[in-house]
Structure 1
Amino acid sequence: MRRFRVVRRVPLAPEEAWRRLTDWPAHGRRVPLTRTTVLTPGPNRVGTRFTARTGLGPLAFDDPMEVVRWEPPGDGRPGVCLLEKRGRLVRGRAGIEVAAEGGGTRVVWTEELAVRGVPAFFDGVLARAGRVVFGRALDGLLGSGPAPDSRGSNGLSH
Protein backbone atom coordinates (compact mmCIF):
# COMPACT_ATOMS: atom_id res chain seq x y z
CA MET A 1 0.00 0.00 0.00
CA ARG A 2 1.45 3.35 -1.03
CA ARG A 3 0.89 6.27 1.36
CA PHE A 4 1.53 9.94 0.87
CA ARG A 5 0.41 13.30 2.26
CA VAL A 6 0.13 16.76 0.81
CA VAL A 7 -0.21 19.74 3.17
CA ARG A 8 -1.20 23.26 2.19
CA ARG A 9 -1.89 26.45 4.14
CA VAL A 10 -4.27 28.80 2.36
CA PRO A 11 -5.86 32.19 3.18
CA LEU A 12 -9.40 30.77 2.99
CA ALA A 13 -11.97 30.07 5.68
CA PRO A 14 -12.20 26.34 6.46
CA GLU A 15 -15.76 26.23 5.10
CA GLU A 16 -14.65 27.67 1.74
CA ALA A 17 -11.65 25.33 1.48
CA TRP A 18 -13.99 22.42 2.28
CA ARG A 19 -16.50 23.51 -0.36
CA ARG A 20 -13.79 23.68 -3.02
CA LEU A 21 -12.17 20.36 -2.07
CA THR A 22 -15.42 18.40 -1.97
CA ASP A 23 -16.75 19.71 -5.29
CA TRP A 24 -16.04 16.41 -7.05
CA PRO A 25 -16.77 17.63 -10.62
CA ALA A 26 -14.29 20.50 -10.08
CA HIS A 27 -11.60 17.88 -9.63
CA GLY A 28 -12.24 17.09 -13.29
CA ARG A 29 -10.54 20.34 -14.23
CA ARG A 30 -7.36 19.72 -12.25
CA VAL A 31 -5.70 16.44 -13.22
CA PRO A 32 -4.86 15.79 -16.86
CA LEU A 33 -6.83 13.15 -18.75
CA THR A 34 -9.37 12.61 -15.96
CA ARG A 35 -13.10 13.19 -15.79
CA THR A 36 -15.08 12.93 -12.55
CA THR A 37 -18.72 11.85 -12.58
CA VAL A 38 -20.93 11.97 -9.47
CA LEU A 39 -23.22 8.93 -9.35
CA THR A 40 -25.33 9.81 -6.30
CA PRO A 41 -27.91 12.62 -6.52
CA GLY A 42 -28.19 15.28 -3.85
CA PRO A 43 -25.69 16.94 -1.57
CA ASN A 44 -22.47 15.26 -0.45
CA ARG A 45 -22.86 12.92 2.51
CA VAL A 46 -21.84 9.46 3.70
CA GLY A 47 -22.74 7.20 0.79
CA THR A 48 -22.04 9.72 -1.98
CA ARG A 49 -20.40 7.85 -4.87
CA PHE A 50 -18.39 9.16 -7.79
CA THR A 51 -15.98 7.84 -10.37
CA ALA A 52 -12.81 9.37 -11.74
CA ARG A 53 -12.04 8.03 -15.23
CA THR A 54 -8.44 8.56 -16.28
CA GLY A 55 -6.89 7.95 -19.68
CA LEU A 56 -7.69 8.23 -23.35
CA GLY A 57 -10.34 6.17 -25.11
CA PRO A 58 -9.83 2.44 -24.55
CA LEU A 59 -6.62 3.14 -22.60
CA ALA A 60 -8.49 4.40 -19.54
CA PHE A 61 -9.48 3.07 -16.13
CA ASP A 62 -12.20 3.91 -13.63
CA ASP A 63 -11.47 4.81 -10.03
CA PRO A 64 -14.83 4.48 -8.19
CA MET A 65 -15.01 6.09 -4.75
CA GLU A 66 -17.52 6.40 -1.94
CA VAL A 67 -17.67 8.89 0.93
CA VAL A 68 -17.48 6.87 4.16
CA ARG A 69 -17.01 9.77 6.59
CA TRP A 70 -18.46 13.25 6.13
CA GLU A 71 -17.88 15.84 8.84
CA PRO A 72 -17.88 19.40 7.42
CA PRO A 73 -16.01 22.05 9.41
CA GLY A 74 -17.98 24.42 11.61
CA ASP A 75 -18.21 25.99 15.04
CA GLY A 76 -14.43 25.85 15.42
CA ARG A 77 -14.10 22.13 14.65
CA PRO A 78 -12.11 20.79 11.69
CA GLY A 79 -13.66 19.05 8.70
CA VAL A 80 -12.89 15.45 7.74
CA CYS A 81 -13.91 13.52 4.63
CA LEU A 82 -12.80 9.94 4.03
CA LEU A 83 -13.17 8.18 0.69
CA GLU A 84 -12.98 4.46 0.00
CA LYS A 85 -11.44 3.62 -3.38
CA ARG A 86 -13.13 0.52 -4.75
CA GLY A 87 -11.77 0.03 -8.24
CA ARG A 88 -10.40 -3.08 -9.88
CA LEU A 89 -7.11 -1.32 -10.58
CA VAL A 90 -6.85 1.15 -7.67
CA ARG A 91 -7.98 0.38 -4.13
CA GLY A 92 -7.45 2.18 -0.85
CA ARG A 93 -8.48 5.34 0.97
CA ALA A 94 -8.20 9.07 0.58
CA GLY A 95 -8.68 11.62 3.33
CA ILE A 96 -9.29 15.35 3.32
CA GLU A 97 -8.84 17.38 6.50
CA VAL A 98 -9.37 21.13 6.83
CA ALA A 99 -8.74 23.10 10.01
CA ALA A 100 -8.49 26.76 10.90
CA GLU A 101 -4.91 27.86 11.40
CA GLY A 102 -3.85 31.43 11.95
CA GLY A 103 -5.89 33.60 9.62
CA GLY A 104 -6.55 30.79 7.13
CA THR A 105 -6.82 27.05 6.78
CA ARG A 106 -4.48 24.09 6.93
CA VAL A 107 -5.42 21.38 4.41
CA VAL A 108 -4.10 17.82 4.60
CA TRP A 109 -4.75 15.37 1.76
CA THR A 110 -3.73 11.77 2.53
CA GLU A 111 -3.78 8.83 0.12
CA GLU A 112 -3.28 5.16 0.87
CA LEU A 113 -3.58 3.11 -2.27
CA ALA A 114 -2.69 -0.12 -3.91
CA VAL A 115 -2.33 -0.31 -7.68
CA ARG A 116 -2.98 -3.76 -9.07
CA GLY A 117 0.04 -5.23 -10.84
CA VAL A 118 2.54 -2.66 -9.53
CA PRO A 119 5.14 -4.24 -7.22
CA ALA A 120 5.97 -2.70 -3.83
CA PHE A 121 9.42 -1.89 -5.24
CA PHE A 122 7.80 1.15 -6.91
CA ASP A 123 6.11 2.51 -3.75
CA GLY A 124 8.55 5.40 -3.39
CA VAL A 125 8.20 6.48 -7.01
CA LEU A 126 4.40 6.30 -6.88
CA ALA A 127 4.28 8.26 -3.61
CA ARG A 128 6.48 11.03 -5.07
CA ALA A 129 4.37 11.16 -8.24
CA GLY A 130 1.20 11.24 -6.13
CA ARG A 131 2.47 14.17 -4.08
CA VAL A 132 3.21 16.12 -7.27
CA VAL A 133 -0.10 15.34 -9.00
CA PHE A 134 -2.29 15.86 -5.93
CA GLY A 135 -0.30 18.92 -4.86
CA ARG A 136 -1.04 20.56 -8.21
CA ALA A 137 -4.69 19.53 -7.98
CA LEU A 138 -4.95 21.01 -4.47
CA ASP A 139 -3.28 24.23 -5.57
CA GLY A 140 -5.76 24.60 -8.40
CA LEU A 141 -8.83 23.74 -6.34
CA LEU A 142 -7.79 26.08 -3.55
CA GLY A 143 -6.90 28.90 -5.94
CA SER A 144 -3.23 28.90 -5.00
CA GLY A 145 -1.89 27.73 -8.34
CA PRO A 146 -2.36 28.24 -12.07
CA ALA A 147 -5.36 26.69 -13.80
CA PRO A 148 -4.50 23.91 -16.24
CA ASP A 149 -4.94 24.24 -19.97
CA SER A 150 -8.71 24.58 -20.40
CA ARG A 151 -8.69 22.69 -23.72
CA GLY A 152 -8.44 19.32 -21.98
CA SER A 153 -10.84 17.43 -19.73
CA ASN A 154 -9.22 17.00 -16.36
CA GLY A 155 -10.10 15.77 -12.86
CA LEU A 156 -8.86 14.13 -9.67
CA SER A 157 -8.16 10.47 -9.80
CA HIS A 158 -7.67 8.77 -6.45
Structure 2
Amino acid sequence: MRALLQRVSTATVTVEGETVGQCGPGLLILVCAMPGDDAGTARALATKISKLRLFKDAAGKMNLSILQTEGSALVVSQFTLAADTSRGNRPGFSGAASPDMAEQLYLQFSDDLRDLGIPTETGQFGADMSVSLTNDGPVTIWLDTDAP
Protein backbone atom coordinates (compact mmCIF):
# COMPACT_ATOMS: atom_id res chain seq x y z
CA MET A 1 0.00 0.00 0.00
CA ARG A 2 1.01 3.56 -0.54
CA ALA A 3 0.10 6.46 1.67
CA LEU A 4 0.72 10.16 1.64
CA LEU A 5 0.47 11.64 5.14
CA GLN A 6 -0.13 15.31 5.74
CA ARG A 7 0.01 16.70 9.26
CA VAL A 8 -3.00 18.98 9.48
CA SER A 9 -4.65 21.33 11.89
CA THR A 10 -7.90 20.52 10.08
CA ALA A 11 -9.06 18.55 7.03
CA THR A 12 -12.46 17.99 5.46
CA VAL A 13 -13.74 15.89 2.57
CA THR A 14 -17.01 16.68 0.82
CA VAL A 15 -19.09 14.87 -1.79
CA GLU A 16 -21.66 16.91 -3.72
CA GLY A 17 -21.37 19.70 -1.16
CA GLU A 18 -21.97 17.43 1.85
CA THR A 19 -19.22 16.86 4.43
CA VAL A 20 -18.61 13.11 4.66
CA GLY A 21 -15.49 13.16 6.84
CA GLN A 22 -13.24 15.49 8.79
CA CYS A 23 -10.40 15.55 11.28
CA GLY A 24 -7.99 17.76 13.07
CA PRO A 25 -5.59 18.23 14.49
CA GLY A 26 -4.00 15.06 13.17
CA LEU A 27 -3.33 13.43 9.83
CA LEU A 28 -4.93 13.51 6.41
CA ILE A 29 -3.99 10.13 4.93
CA LEU A 30 -4.34 9.56 1.20
CA VAL A 31 -4.10 5.81 0.67
CA CYS A 32 -3.79 3.51 -2.36
CA ALA A 33 -3.98 -0.28 -2.40
CA MET A 34 -1.64 -2.04 -4.80
CA PRO A 35 -1.81 -5.53 -6.34
CA GLY A 36 -0.62 -8.12 -3.81
CA ASP A 37 -1.69 -6.08 -0.78
CA ASP A 38 -3.81 -7.85 1.82
CA ALA A 39 -5.27 -7.32 5.29
CA GLY A 40 -1.81 -7.80 6.81
CA THR A 41 -0.43 -5.03 4.62
CA ALA A 42 -3.20 -2.69 5.74
CA ARG A 43 -2.58 -3.51 9.40
CA ALA A 44 1.20 -3.03 9.06
CA LEU A 45 0.70 0.38 7.43
CA ALA A 46 -1.77 1.50 10.11
CA THR A 47 0.60 0.33 12.85
CA LYS A 48 3.54 2.19 11.27
CA ILE A 49 1.52 5.40 10.97
CA SER A 50 0.29 5.16 14.56
CA LYS A 51 3.90 5.15 15.80
CA LEU A 52 5.48 7.74 13.48
CA ARG A 53 6.73 10.72 15.46
CA LEU A 54 5.38 13.55 13.32
CA PHE A 55 4.06 15.92 15.98
CA LYS A 56 5.88 18.54 18.03
CA ASP A 57 6.78 18.00 21.67
CA ALA A 58 7.11 20.80 24.25
CA ALA A 59 10.54 21.69 22.81
CA GLY A 60 9.10 22.04 19.28
CA LYS A 61 10.76 18.86 17.94
CA MET A 62 8.88 16.25 15.92
CA ASN A 63 8.96 13.69 18.70
CA LEU A 64 5.35 12.61 19.32
CA SER A 65 3.04 10.19 17.53
CA ILE A 66 -0.60 10.77 16.64
CA LEU A 67 -1.49 8.46 19.54
CA GLN A 68 0.54 10.51 22.01
CA THR A 69 -1.10 13.76 20.87
CA GLU A 70 -4.58 12.16 20.80
CA GLY A 71 -4.93 13.34 17.21
CA SER A 72 -7.45 12.13 14.66
CA ALA A 73 -7.21 10.92 11.08
CA LEU A 74 -9.09 11.47 7.85
CA VAL A 75 -8.49 8.66 5.35
CA VAL A 76 -9.21 9.27 1.66
CA SER A 77 -8.85 6.64 -1.07
CA GLN A 78 -6.45 7.85 -3.76
CA PHE A 79 -5.77 5.43 -6.64
CA THR A 80 -3.69 8.10 -8.37
CA LEU A 81 -0.84 7.38 -5.93
CA ALA A 82 -0.20 4.38 -8.22
CA ALA A 83 0.38 6.65 -11.22
CA ASP A 84 2.93 5.47 -13.75
CA THR A 85 4.38 8.49 -15.55
CA SER A 86 7.27 6.68 -17.23
CA ARG A 87 5.80 6.83 -20.74
CA GLY A 88 4.20 9.77 -22.47
CA ASN A 89 2.25 12.52 -20.80
CA ARG A 90 -0.81 10.66 -19.60
CA PRO A 91 -0.38 8.78 -16.30
CA GLY A 92 -1.36 5.13 -16.23
CA PHE A 93 -3.07 3.62 -13.21
CA SER A 94 -2.84 -0.11 -13.91
CA GLY A 95 -0.53 -0.40 -10.88
CA ALA A 96 -3.45 0.19 -8.50
CA ALA A 97 -5.44 -2.69 -7.04
CA SER A 98 -8.80 -3.52 -8.60
CA PRO A 99 -11.65 -1.34 -7.28
CA ASP A 100 -13.22 -4.19 -5.28
CA MET A 101 -9.95 -5.10 -3.58
CA ALA A 102 -8.97 -1.45 -3.12
CA GLU A 103 -12.22 -0.60 -1.35
CA GLN A 104 -11.92 -3.60 0.95
CA LEU A 105 -8.33 -2.68 1.92
CA TYR A 106 -9.16 1.01 2.29
CA LEU A 107 -11.92 0.14 4.75
CA GLN A 108 -9.69 -2.41 6.51
CA PHE A 109 -6.92 0.18 6.88
CA SER A 110 -9.38 2.70 8.35
CA ASP A 111 -10.72 0.09 10.78
CA ASP A 112 -7.15 -0.81 11.77
CA LEU A 113 -6.44 2.83 12.66
CA ARG A 114 -9.58 2.90 14.81
CA ASP A 115 -8.58 -0.38 16.47
CA LEU A 116 -5.24 1.22 17.37
CA GLY A 117 -7.07 4.03 19.17
CA ILE A 118 -7.00 6.75 16.51
CA PRO A 119 -10.36 8.46 15.89
CA THR A 120 -10.76 8.00 12.14
CA GLU A 121 -13.19 9.30 9.55
CA THR A 122 -13.14 8.54 5.83
CA GLY A 123 -14.02 9.91 2.47
CA GLN A 124 -16.40 8.04 0.15
CA PHE A 125 -14.70 5.37 -1.93
CA GLY A 126 -15.03 5.95 -5.68
CA ALA A 127 -16.77 9.30 -5.32
CA ASP A 128 -15.70 12.61 -6.83
CA MET A 129 -14.45 14.19 -3.60
CA SER A 130 -13.24 17.64 -2.67
CA VAL A 131 -10.58 17.65 0.04
CA SER A 132 -9.76 20.77 2.00
CA LEU A 133 -6.92 20.95 4.50
CA THR A 134 -4.68 23.22 6.47
CA ASN A 135 -1.26 21.59 6.36
CA ASP A 136 0.58 22.05 9.65
CA GLY A 137 4.28 22.67 9.20
CA PRO A 138 3.98 21.83 6.37
CA VAL A 139 4.72 18.18 7.06
CA THR A 140 4.11 15.69 4.25
CA ILE A 141 5.41 12.10 4.40
CA TRP A 142 5.33 9.40 1.69
CA LEU A 143 5.07 5.73 2.75
CA ASP A 144 5.19 2.63 0.59
CA THR A 145 4.94 -0.80 2.20
CA ASP A 146 7.10 -2.22 -0.61
CA ALA A 147 9.91 0.27 0.01
CA PRO A 148 13.00 -1.03 1.85
- The normalised TM-score by structure 2 is 0.30
- Which structure ranks higher in relative contact order (CA pairs < 8 Å, sequence separation ≥ 6)? 2
